[in-house]
Amino acid sequence: MSNGEQSPLLGEGPSLGQQARIYRRAPVARATIYGILTAVFVVALILGSVYWEKLGGYVGHLPKDPEKAAKRLLDVAPIIDGHIDLPILARSRFRNNATAVDLNGELYGHVDIPRLRKGQVGGFFWSTYVGCPKEDQVGEDYLNATWLVRDTLEQIDIAMELIQKYPNTFEFVGTSTDVMSAIRRGRIASLLGVEGGHQLGNSISVLRQFYRLGVRYVTLTHTCHNAFADSCGMEPGIKPRWNGLSSLGKVLIEEMNRIGMLVDLSHTSDDTARQALRHSKAPVIWSHSSARAVHDVPRNIPDDVLSLIGTDDTRTDAVVMVNFAPYFVAEEGKADVAAVADHVEHIAAIAGRKHVGIGSDFDGISSTPKGLEDVSKYPALIAELYRRGWNRFELSGLTGRNLLRVMAGAERVAQDLQAMGLEPKYDVYDKRLDL
């Protein structure tokens, strides 16, 4: 792979200061240098015009043909997907038996190694999800004993077993720089995310243990409210429990900021999202959410929330990784590549192109958009946006760099808070009577 300065994934070119320094020389030396530079330039021009297509990838210029352009871009800036549900498929179909899961063959569902490679995937968050408990089982204060923490540990385990089963393909990572170095080695950077506060057993200690096991985001809610925050549910009209974050939910976010666990706002209610954006000191993510103005379902993000995202002082940095679930994308039968691109463009129009990403939800959805049937199809979405005028820097932001910026931002906040000597949070859920 080319060096970092030429790769859209890693930055936007060499510093101008470096270039300027070269020219501050004595006049005679300068004439010589200009001569040499001119000769080099002419040779480069000739080579360039002959090998334009080949050289294009190297210097970052993309060919006109959208399919070729997508492939070229993804060579240097591969997809980093915010949400893939392979572990829950392993649970429901294979009883979490990694021996039985053959990722080199064509696996049931949307994900296996040949298709990941074809789709030019450089990394993804393995979602470690277990479903919401029934409300009458868990009780109105979420206090009855459940198996949710055990089941989450099992999902972390099966994800790790599958990552380790294919060491030449997957590399388990926990930081933004580790993601980049795994990609540079040709591996698929593998991160873990926990998809719901209900999986934390009402406990901030459990949050810290999940971090120690390698988990790097927690979605504040799934489709149910929990001790920390309100969910948006699935259907409109769900009654809030806390009107956003509970007081323990605010402490949870503070601890997530301190340890470097990303706050994921997919599945949360609009009030939870607004309050979390205000409360978080670190950049946040939506691991798999689309735009409500494009398709009006509660799981999508309204414009007023999107407008709170940004990098100035009054906003919070974030990346919204667009969900492919047809039910969230468009009217029945109308979800396709163009419709998903509409979500990307709408989020970009409100929040900015630096704030979009991809969170397909593959293996967690029962149907898929036309043209985005599995992980081999991401290039079609990149080609579509290229056709709509997105340049290579904007596209490489979408494919992964925006997410990496947000991860790096959250890592810095954690370092700063720890350097300040901020104490861990020892708050206990106030409805618990055992502690």
Residues that bind ligand NAG (CB under 6 A): 97, 99-100, 137, 139-141, 144
At 357, list the tokens: 């990403």
At 25, list the tokens: 């020389």
- Whole-angstrom CA distances from 413 to 85, 282, 367, 405 are 28, 6, 38, 12
Smallest separation (angstroms) from ligand NAG to the CB of 227 = 13
Closest to ligand NAG by CB, 144 vs 177, is: 144
Distance between CA atoms of 244 and 167, rounded to whole angstroms?
Answer: 42
Query: 3-state DSSP call for residue 262?
Result: strand
Q: Which of 110, 222, 279, 346 is catalytic?
A: 222
Q: Which of 110, 198, 225, 267 is catalytic?
A: 267
Query: 3-state DSSP call for residue 362?
Result: strand
Q: Which of 81, 171, 195, 363 is catalytic?
A: 195
At 9, list the tokens: 């994934």
Smallest separation (angstroms) from ligand NAG to the CB of 224 = 14
Which residue of the chain is nearest ligand NAG when measured via CB?
A: 139
Closest to ligand NAG by CB, 99 vs 366, is: 99
Distance between CA atoms of 126 and 395, rounded to whole angstroms?
Answer: 23
Closest to ligand NAG by CB, 210 vs 429, is: 429
Q: What count of residues does the chain have?
A: 435
Q: Which of 112, 342, 361, 363 is catalytic?
A: 361
Active site residue 361: yes
Distance between CA atoms of 62 and 44, rounded to whole angstroms?
Answer: 18
Residue 410, CB-side half-sphere exposure with 13 Å CA sphere: 29
Active site residue 288: yes
Smallest separation (angstroms) from ligand NAG to the CB of 429 = 14
Unique residue bearing structure tokens 């618990």? 432
Q: Which of 85, 112, 345, 384 is catalytic?
A: 85
The DSSP line for 150-203 is HHHHHHHHHHHHHHHH-TTTEEE--SHHHHHHHHHTT-EEEEEEE--GGGGTT-
Please check whether residue 75 is in contact with residue 81, taking contact to mean a CB–CB distance below 8 angstroms: no
Active site residue 222: yes
Active site residue 230: no
Closest to ligand NAG by CB, 90 vs 262, is: 90
Active site residue 346: no
Smallest separation (angstroms) from ligand NAG to the CB of 75 = 36
Distance between CA atoms of 79 and 382, rounded to whole angstroms?
Answer: 10
Smallest separation (angstroms) from ligand NAG to the CB of 172 = 22
Q: Which of 288, 343, 346, 355 is catalytic?
A: 288
Closest to ligand NAG by CB, 137 vs 314, is: 137
Smallest separation (angstroms) from ligand NAG to the CB of 143 = 6
Give, to the nearest 10 degrees, the angle between helix 27-50 and helix 52-59: 120
Closest to ligand NAG by CB, 139 vs 186, is: 139
Query: 3-state DSSP call for residue 123?
Result: strand
Which residues belong to the active site? 83, 85, 195, 222, 267, 288, 361
